[in-house]
Structure 1
């Protein structure tokens, strides 16, 4: 099995005000040993601008990345790139590149039928939808959505900040995370035309000032879990017939006093078994482990250091045996074995020299 990693190749100003150095060499490929959790470097494909989010198809034949930029060819906005993966070497060959119609592209997701790619633009406060061609390149955007408005935090929520798209359990709706307005905005999808149409009555709202970042539905489609960036909390929603009701808000800290200024919530993942939810916090650099109770609520059972600094993203192996944390500021990926009984984490491998790593995809 292989993983691919992305990061920043050029310095960039983040929404938090931090300037991240561009140490990444491009999109790197590693072999992943499913028995031991060890990684082995294979190759890197260079000459790719700021591939800060990467997404491979399920067959491992094609890969897409954002090129997180403030402007491209003098126009405000980023780009998104499509690649063919060399199955023998892991090297990439670019197919094409499209404009994202918004600055600081930060997230990618596929439509349920894998015929479209959705791109979130953080600073642009926008979302673009692309039809995937037969050669797996991208056509120009079929739909571009722009949010308007602001939130309770004048520094971080001065405007809309699109951070992620999540497919609803029915496959016909898309939830769009807007950190700037504490909402997962709902859109009805027309997958024939590649259009998204707003259905505001189905929006999923957070608490003002939380900064909704990433979310995930459980396997049954009955609960929705959201990691908040500004308050480092997880919101638990009961989800039924397209409506979400907030059931619980729980901190990612065992002791809330440990939460200091500068801590930022990051990724959230649900274990394939549905028994545990994991959330990352930058600043204190830890992974919070939550047990899922019978009613869907969470109980915090462990906080584990991520093995480096600024765990920008993490991913679970498809079989649920491992968690891989991408530590941006210390240039490393820490691999943890997941206890099958408790969901707890045990470090089994530390891959160094993964420069400015921000994302991992299988």
Structure 2
């Protein structure tokens, strides 16, 4: 059978998979241990299994990903790019999920580690960990990225001399109403709050420009409760969670609880925390621990506060980002140092997780996304 026929049959098979209800997933990686770049999979909800579709070549550590609100485009930071950083755009084939490179732009800073896209699909926000800055890039109507129209350089040090030696901007998270972006700096122990102008792709400090957490905590990733009234912050260096109430009108945050412990009882080893997500129902919060290699599970009270209900081993080492699927049935964990993504079934009533036995090999996985999520 010649290559053309094989290619046609493969395309027909993929299209059939997409039409059968299989969902498309994307995995960003570090360029280690033979990683090709970005990996595309289908997910079969009935069998709970992932099947490979495509590996997209990118040797610059396309670690963190974001999907355009139309579902037509995907964006990756290029964490291994030069000191000017980098971010790339890709077109998504809706039938197969396959990616096609569109273009790339500088992120105006070293070590870009996070990208997010506003709800209008007109602006991308790129966090430069190494450069300690945030870059704001317009998105053209064809999904391509324009050169940055705004940037903010952070500055400062913190009490952890090894990790808080200079500014390290780690994430930029859009508010549910798309009016504000919340920027976590691991070094300054602050969440900086900016007003967004979606027409010009620019930002300015909000009326309440920041909120501070306990010195040495190390803000990393941030997420909102579905009701928009509460928000939760990973404190990487202390393996804890900060809980906030949010004023929807002003965007201001009020610290309710700081340093909520996320490690298993009795754990005394080295650990840094990574990712945080609330389930679609708003009843449970999950938090990944690199070192303990667990997901901490919290119940969320009516007042937004957290109660620890369990710890789930991730069946791999160094869990970075993880994904709760949009229906709340499955959790996918990217275990960076064991080169695998592990799949868990989620009990929607208790929040507890059960390992399905399904594990997919991916070199140095960092970020897991599902199309439409």
TM-score (norm 2): 0.89
> Which residue is equivalent to 2:132?
125
1:260 paired to 2:282: no
Structure 1: how far apart are the matches of 2:244 and 2:99?
Answer: 40
Partners in 2 of 1:61 and 1:190 — Cα distance?
A: 23
Q: How does 1:273-352 map to 2 (within 5 A)?
A: 273-352=281-360
Tell me whether 46-55 or 180-189 shows the greater mean CA deviation. Answer: 46-55
User: How many Å separate the matches in 2 of 1:198 and 1:58?
Assistant: 25
Alpha carbons of structure 1 residues 47 and 172: separation in structure 2 relative to 1, 3 Å: closer
Looking at structure 2, the residues matched to 169 and 56 of structure 1 have their Cα atoms a distance apart, in angstroms, of 16
CA distance in 1, matches of 2:96, 2:59: 18
Which residue of the partner structure matches residue 100 of structure 1? 107
SS in 1 for 2:296: strand
1:196 is the counterpart of 2:203: yes
Deviates more, 1:107-116 or 1:268-277: 107-116
Aligned counterpart in structure 2 of residue 186 of structure 1, from 171, 182, 193: 193
Q: Deviations over 1:32-59 (max 9, x none)?
A: 1123321111221124421111222344
Could you say which residue in structure 1 is the equivalent of 2:245?
Answer: 238
Aligned residue for 1:69?
80
Call closer, same or farther: CA 1:352–1:219 in 2, change over 3 Å. closer
- C-alpha distance in 2 between matches for 1:238 and 1:37: 36
Q: Is the 8 A contact 1:5 1:28 kept in 2?
A: yes
Pick aligned residue for 1:5 from 27, 38, 55: 27
- Measure how far apart 1:349 and its partner are: 4.1
Q: C-alpha deviations, 1:225-257, integer Å up to 9, x for none? A: 1111000101111222433222223101242x4
CA distance, structure 1, for counterparts of residue 44 and residue 155 of structure 2: 45
* Residue of structure 2 equivalent to 1:251: 261
Aligned 8 A contact 2:263 2:296 in 1 = yes
Q: Which residue of 2 aligns with 1:54?
A: 65
State how far apart, in whole Å, the 1-side matches of 2:68 and 2:177 are. 21
Which residue is 2:369 aligned to?
361
My pick for the range that moved more, 121-130 or 61-70, is 61-70
Deviations 1:308-360 (A, max 9, x none): 00101101111111110000111110111110110100111433321111111
1:30 equivalent to 2:41? Answer: yes
Matched with 1:159 is 166
Unaligned runs of 5+ in 1: 10-20
Aligned counterparts of 2:340 and 2:157: Cα–Cα separation in 1: 35
- 3-state SS, counterpart of residue 329 of structure 1: helix
Give the total of aligned pairs. 345
Paired with 1:284 and 1:7, the residues of 2 have a C-alpha distance of 21
8 Å contact from structure 2 (residues 278, 286) kept in 1: yes
Name the counterpart of 1:12: none
- Distance in 1 between residues matched to 2:181 and 2:70, nearest whole Å: 24
**8 Å Cα contact 1:185-1:200 kept in structure 2:** no
SS of corresponding position for 2:149: strand
Which has the higher Rg, Structure 1 or Structure 2? 2
Cα distance change of structure 1 residues 218 and 47 upon mapping to structure 2, 3 Å threshold: closer
